[in-house]
Amino acid sequence: MTFGVAQEQNWNALSDEAFRLVVRAEFETHYPTDLRFPPRRLFWRENGDWFRRMAAKGWIAPNWPTEFGGMGLSASKLLIFHEEQERGGIARFQDHGIVMIGPLLMRYGTDEQRRHFLPPILSCEHRWCQGYSEPNAGSDLAGLRTRAVRTGDDFVINGQKIWTTLAMDSTHIFVLARTDPDAKKQQGISFLLVPLDTPGITVRPIRDIAGHDELAEVFFDNVRTPAANLVGPLHGGWTIAKSLLGFERIMLGSPKMPEYGLQLLVGAAQAADLGNDPVFLDKLAGLQLDVAHLGDVYRHFAAIAARGEPLGPDVSLLKIHATETFQRIADLIIETVGPLGGHAGVVAAGGAEINVLAAYYKARPATIYGGSSEIQRNIIAKDVLNLPGR
């Protein structure tokens, strides 16, 4: 089966400089000006036309191998692609299908699952969200209580998920559910794929600290999904979930958000006339070095993923580095603009207009979602450094 759109050329045969110019020209020429650098995640009704264009061009899945319809980019060119997205202020795609489910099915899915689910991800017909966190089981995923019971050719799901990004804007959700209540916490969990238009599913938006409603609760009331939508073995979902979290931590550990924060920080400094202030410049240089080091680490892990190799527990350091660096940048933006740092929305400063709190609102939850920094440090301590437990 042919997946996606054939590529115009072998992008990896270009030099990095030439590839960057191609990508930059595409983004500068075609991405809508009014959608650049949005302060929140955009809904499909707002940015769907752009990503349908990217799908038609064959650029929707830069991280996928060409045999599955992706661009097949090397680690260095994938980083360039993301850097140019950030440089152009391109809103993030609803990318759980591209970053998570696609690579997961390539590794663990059946041929039938790949034939059924991969093409509509590439065409943007299917948009996925993540059914992991639950009330009282956020970073402790093994504590989840959503149940799935095999009944004939289906699984029947009951339970609740929370903090589900853009669930109201998605067509499908991947769900961790407990299928063996008597097994040890990590051993009785399965990984299921569920269309969101299935009867019994209710989605309720959650308004966040910035007043946006991109998060949601998802309730399952006797929801049936075909047994063919089980990924991997029954009760083997914990292994699948850990693999997927590796993909997520590459995404969350990308330099994109800190680089975005640096752009806002430089703009804030110019508005506050701190461009030549030695104290500010010292702080800025330190953060720029941190982001540069993050890029080096990101390329290392992206290369592993691009080769189709499993990611080790050390990928947790990537998410810690990226999210905590982003928070320090956001804090310095507020410090830089002084009294204006408490104003929400766009404010006038030094003849310029700047959304002072945009980075702050994005940075605060970043050290929590996708596994909190505390959880990531525990993983590194236990599985990388082999430190003893308490």
Residue 358: what pLDDT? 83
Q: 192 with 231: CB under 8 angstroms?
A: yes
Measured CA to CA, the distance from residue 330 to residue 324 in angstroms comes to 10
Q: Which residues contact 106 (CB under 8 A, 6 or more apart)?
A: 64, 65, 68, 114, 118, 308
The per-residue DSSP string of 26-45 comes to HHHHHS-GGGSS-SSPPPHH
Task: Kindly list the averaged pLDDT for each block of 10 residues, start to end, along the chain of length 390.
Answer: 83 95 96 88 92 95 92 86 85 86 92 95 95 79 87 97 93 95 86 97 90 92 98 90 72 82 88 88 95 90 75 88 95 88 75 80 84 87 86
Taking the C-alpha atoms of residue 116 and residue 326, their distance in angstroms, rounded to an integer, is 38
Asked if 4 contacts 119 with a C-beta cutoff of 8 angstroms, the reply is yes
Contact, 295 vs 366, CB < 8 A? no
Q: How high is the pLDDT of residue 244?
A: 72
Q: What are phi and psi of 353, to 5 degrees?
A: -110, 130
Q: 8-46: buried (b, 16+ CB within 10 Å) or exposed (e) per residue? A: eeebeeeeeeebbeebeebbeeebeeeeeebeebbebee
**pTM to 2 decimals?**
0.82
pLDDT given at position 141: 67
Interatomic CA distance for residues 68 and 65, integer angstroms: 6
Buried b / exposed e over 237-248, threshold 16 CB at 10 Å, is bbebbebbbbbb
List, in order, residues 6 or more apart from 184 with CB less than 8 Å away. Answer: none
- What is the reported pLDDT for 39? 76
Give me the pLDDT at residue 328, please: 96
DSSP conformation letters of 158-201: EEEE-S-TTGGG-SEEEEEEES-TTS-GGGSEEEEEEETTSTTE
Q: Are 59 and 208 in contact (CB under 8 A)?
A: no
In the three-class reduction of DSSP (H, G, I as helix; E, B as strand; rest coil), residue 316 is classed as helix
As a whole number of angstroms, the distance between CA 243 and CA 327 comes to 26
Q: Is 259 among the residues known to form the active site?
A: no
In this structure, are residues 238 and 187 in contact, taking their beta carbons and an 8 Å threshold?
A: yes
Active-site choice (83, 86, 248, 259): 248
Backbone torsions φ then ψ of 225, nearest 5 degrees: -130, 140
What domains are defined for the chain?
11-93 (no CATH), 128-236 (2.40.110.10), 253-384 (1.20.140.10)
What is the per-residue pLDDT for 102? 93
pLDDT value for 178: 94
pLDDT of residue 247: 66
Beta-sheet pairing, 215-226 with 230-231: unpaired
